Structures are given as structure tokens and as C-alpha cells.
Amino acid sequence: MTAAAINSAVFDWQGPHGLPQFDRIADEDYAPAFAHALALLEAEIEAIANDTAPADFESVIGRLERAGESISRVSALFWNRAGAHTNDVIRALEREISPQLSRHYSKIAQNRKLFARIDAVWENRAALGISGEKLRVLEDHWKGFVKSGGKLDDAGQQRLAQINERLAMLGTQFGQNVLADESSWSLPLAGEEDLAGLPDFLIPAMAEAAQEHGAPGSHAVTLSRSVIEPFLTFSDRRDLREAAFRAWIARGEGDHDNRPIVAETLALREEKARLLGYESYAALKLDDTMAKTPAAVDTLLMPVWKKALEKADAEREALAAMVAEEGRNHAIEPWDWRYYAEKRRQREFDFSESQVKPYFQLDRIIEAAFTVANRLFGISFRPRPDIAGYHRDVRVFEVLDAQGEVAGVFFGDYFARPSKRSGAWMSAFQSQHGLDGGRIPFIYNVMNFARGAPGEPVLLSLDDARTLFHEFGHALHGLLSSVTYPSVSGTHVSRDFVELPSQLYEHWLTTPAVLKEFALHYRTGEPMPAELLDKVLAARTFNSGFQTVEFTASALIDMAFHTAGEVPDPMAFEAGRLADLDMPSAIVMRHRTPHFQHVFAGDGYSAGYYSYMWSEVLDADAFAAFEETGDPFDPQMAARLKQHIYSAGGSQDPEDLYKAFRGALPSPQAMMEKRGLV
């Protein structure tokens, strides 16, 4: 690869504050950039491994922390492109680069000279006086190399590298298959009869969806959650609800079939765990988490599951009674639940989602998220419309500290589009660290909200608003990071701790002070009436049996897959395990196996989907700390929260961090109460 073929803008970021200049980077630039960056990284690693000086923290770990800036930059840009605005060129390169990256990282992880130097620092850590953040960083590097095969023989290392490469390829294909199913499917709606029951806020979004699917002037249901969930909630057409629901849960098992990918993935993960000396893949993944063992996860999930089943059964009976009242005799099916639950909510709490949604404007909820961060942590957000993002929809904000200095940059990408994978997430172009003068964080949030009619504000459901607050909580974990070493910055924490800052932040959305200030009607500007606000708050645990069952079922299946050993037929295994759990026929897993991207489109939440609930135990207890003061913005509590949770990253053991904030670890009781299960 010649230097002339490499676009320096991929690595040399010359935008304001050192941001990348997205408009200077073409899709064709990524392949040569990866080749160049990987060569640089390999040279850096060889230099560290072949150093003949005595191994100490700075000469080994310090240099590893500094190595690979070029590959970090091209990777950050590319994976953002692949997730948020992909195309055929990017998808093809994704399939090519995933196994290539795996090969390179396996080569690094299995470099015996390098591991010998890391091991020497680890064994000599007491004599070297390594403590605090440095000790945590050293431990993470040492454990990471051991889990990557550092102690295996040559044959074992070779097989592990093959497994990792194949898993990388399979994860990429899994995610691309789901996106292909989501972006290609739509259900055209022919006329007024097909729109029966649909609220005004949904009609423009469905018109926009039809436009994107080549049918301007009509309406369509798509598999975007912000379209299909309200359609299932409000459509009077049971036949159309069924058609849409069946397509939604069938993602990944049609033309783009993920079932063989799941089977192979599970087999390879099991082989990997055994190769590394673990009894199961779950044991391997949980080794460095707060939960530690699959048994501890079951101890959390099963009592919740039993309570949720009881609550869901009572909810189903109430919905069945409503069906009977209408003179119908059908059972409650999965495509009926949301529809009748909404009717029940309107009856029992005397309000509907269509009454609430006009008070949740996207722009006002963004402002609310920013204002809460200012009141808690002293930071503020300054719009920079003159700075281009990676897509025309992206909004860019400078993040200012209490002294008014720029402490980071935040990108908000809020709208669904066919080139974007579904869901919502946070990531970083650049993480904060304090080495060599330091770096400020460049953090982004990605959502998939449906657009409104041209010229009309975008309205969110309460769940959408919670999602925005959730992902912004992740963003704050990155933006408020204050550590020295990049590998423990921001969200680089154990999987069952990473959801604490995000889930905790959701609590502030529904505090009366925030709702009164920001839940303003998009036409009148009037705040939500006190009577409606009281009803919304009273209904917070409504339908919690359904919600807890669909989530917990996914977490239990994830853990079952990764503790079972051989799973030759994952779909039969899923069905059998759900039957053993007495899964209600009227509820479907939140993420069925063929489109369970958290678990199979990469390794992120594999044997880790439970972590949302583990973190929920923590977040319920953490917010109770504020409630006990009588002030959701208590300054002393907010300072402790910032210091020990949002700013500390992975610089300490998460248990120690939580205890430093709260004094002790919580029991699941507060979480169960929050969900209305007790």
C-alpha cells in the first residue's frame, strides 16, 4: 500500500477541537486506511515486545495504552458508518475487514514475547508499587491476554485465532441480515379503512415510511420500532396487526436466515470457552463482571421471572375480559396485547398515549436531557450548526464545563433511515484520557425516531423519551470521564455495570420538576395539565408484567444458550426452554434468537443481556439515594454520583465504586418495587 493511496484525513483530524472532517473522507478511503493503520499497530507492538530493557509499567503497559491511535481512529469512523449510514460498499468492506481485524488482534494477543513482558510486570506489581488506576489497567491487560490465549500452546493459539476470526465474520453477517430484513420489508396501507384507529401523530411517519419504500402519496408500516410499536398499539385492524407482528418477529429467519449462524456461533463459543479452561461460555464472559457466575445471574432473574409471570397472567385476564366485552371470542395473541393494553390504560387511568405524545417534542426532550445534566453536573451544551456531522441529520454540540471551557463534543443522530440499523446506542469517535496532554471525548448517540410531517415538530412517546434519556446517560458516562488511561475511560467498564449510568438517568425524565418544565404541548406551549401528569406518573408500572416477561425471557434464553454446551438446533432449544419456563403464549421474547443482535451481532452482550436488570437493581437503589434527600438534584449527592459513577470509568472495581457512592450494594427489592412486581 503506497502512501499516496491513503487519505490522511482519516487519521489527521483537523476539524474544530480536533474533530474528524467527515466530508473529506470517502467510502473508498477505508480499506487502504485500515491496511496502513494495522501495519503501524503491528510495528508498535513489535517494538514493545522486542524491548530488551527490564519490563516495568511505563515501558510495557504505558506504551500499550498509547499504541494504535491510527487504528482507533479509522475503526471509530468506519463502525459508525457501518451502523448509522451504511451502503453496499461499506457492507462489503465490513465482511472483509471483520475477520481481518480478528486475525491481527489474535496475532497481538498471542505474541509470546509481548505476553512475557506483561506477565513480568504483573508478577512484579507489588515491588513496582503499582496501585489505584494503574493496577486496574495492568490487571485488565493481563487478564485480557490470558483470555485471548496468552498461556495456550501453539496449537491452542492457532485454533483460538481461527475461532475468533470465524466468529467475527458470523457476527457481521448476522447484523447485516437483520438490517436487510428490516429495511426491505413494508406493509402498504391501501386507504382510510387500513388507517382505522391510528392517531394523528403516526400518520405522517407512515407517509414518510411509504416515501422511503418507493410509494409516495401512500402509507406503510415498517419494522422500525418507532413505527411498528404504535401501529400494534392503535390499529383497529387485527389482520394487519397480525401481519405486521409476524414480520417483526420473523426478522432473521427468512431470505436472510440467521438460524445457521446462531448454531455455528454457539458451537464456536463453547469450543472457545473449553479451550481457555472454562466450563461454559457464560463462565468465561462473567469472570470479570459484578455477577461473577451464571448461578448469581439465575439468583437475580428467577425470582423476578416468577413475579412477572403472576403479574402478566393477571394482565392477560384483564385484556381477555375486554375482548369478551366487545363480543369477540378470540384469545389474546401477541399482536393483540399492546392494542388492548392501551385500551385498558385509557380506561383505568383515563388517558391515552395520543393524549400524552403532544407534550413530548423531540427538541424539548433533548433540552430536558441537557438541563438535567447541567443541574446535576454543572456542564452545558452549545449548538454548533456550523460543524458538519457524518450525516445531514446529525446535530453537533460543544460540551462546556462549569468554567465555560470546551470539555467534549456531543453528536445527536435522532431519525430512522433505511441505511441505519435499528435500535439506539451510544459510541465514541474519541474517548477521554489524560496521557500526553490528554484528549477530550467525542461522543455520539444514535436513535431511530420516526419523522413528523414536513414543518411539524417530531413527537415522542414516553418510551421514546426514556430511550433518549437512557442513551444520553451512556453519553454522559463518556463525556464526564476523568481518567488517565484510555482503556478504562468512560463506558469501558464491566458489562453489568455499564447500564447503571444510562438506566439511572432515565429516572430524571419523570420527575415532576422536569415534566412540568419540558413536557409542553407542541401547539399551545402549555405544560402538561397536573391531572394528566398525575395519571402518567400513576401509570408508571402499568403493563409491567408484560414488559418484564418479554425482557427477562430474552435474558434467560441468552444465559441458557451459553451454559448448555452443545446446541445443535437453537430454535428447538429456545422453544423447549421457554416451555420449561411456562412462557405465556401471548407474549414473545423482546428479542427472538434470529434477530437478537445484542447477543449474536458481535460479542457485546452475549451471556450478558441480564446486565440491564442487574444494573436496574443498582439504578433503583441509586435514585433512592436522591429521593431520601427530598431533592432529585441534591448537590452533595450529585457530586458523589459524578465522582464515583460517571467520571470514574473502569479505573476501580465497580463494586468499590458503587459502595463509595452509596455505602453498600443493594438488594433486588427496590427494583422489584419500581417495576410494580411486589
Positions marked catalytic:
471
Task: Write the single-letter amino acid at 367.
Answer: E
Handedness of CA 418, 423, 426, 430 (dihedral sign): negative
Q: Distance (Å, rounded) from C-alpha 13 to C-alpha 140?
A: 29
The residues with which 409 forms a beta bridge, in sequence order, are: 398, 442
Start-to-end CA distance of the chain, whole Å, equals 63
| Residue 617 DSSP SS3 | helix
Nearest to 551 by CA among 299, 309, 246: 309
**CA 333 vs CA 73, 146, 234, 242: distances in Å:** 48, 48, 15, 9
Task: Write the single-letter amino acid at 485.
Answer: Y
Decide if 244 contacts 219 (C-beta within 8 A). Answer: no
Joined grid coordinates for residue 115: 505476553
Decide if 424 contacts 446 (C-beta within 8 A). Answer: yes
DSSP symbol at 62:
I
Edge-to-edge order in the sheet of strand 442-449 = 380-383, 395-400, 406-415, 442-449, 425-430
Beta-strand relationship, 406-415 and 442-449:
parallel
Q: Distance (Å, rounded) from C-alpha 658 to C-alpha 505?
A: 16
Question: What CA dihedral angle connects 2, 4, 10 and 16, to 10 degrees?
Answer: 150
Beta-strand relationship, 425-430 and 395-400:
unpaired
The residues, ordered by sequence, that sit 6+ positions from 363 with a Cβ below 8 Å of its Cβ are: 457, 458
Locus of grid cell 424539548? 364
Q: Distance (Å, rounded) from C-alpha 174 to C-alpha 60?
A: 37
Decide if 241 contacts 335 (C-beta within 8 A). Answer: yes
**CA 220 vs CA 194, 227, 228, 449, 595: distances in Å:** 10, 9, 10, 16, 22
Joined grid coordinates for residue 272: 472457545
| Radius of gyration over every alpha carbon of the chain, rounded to an integer in angstroms | 25
Neighbours of 24 (CB within 10 A): 16
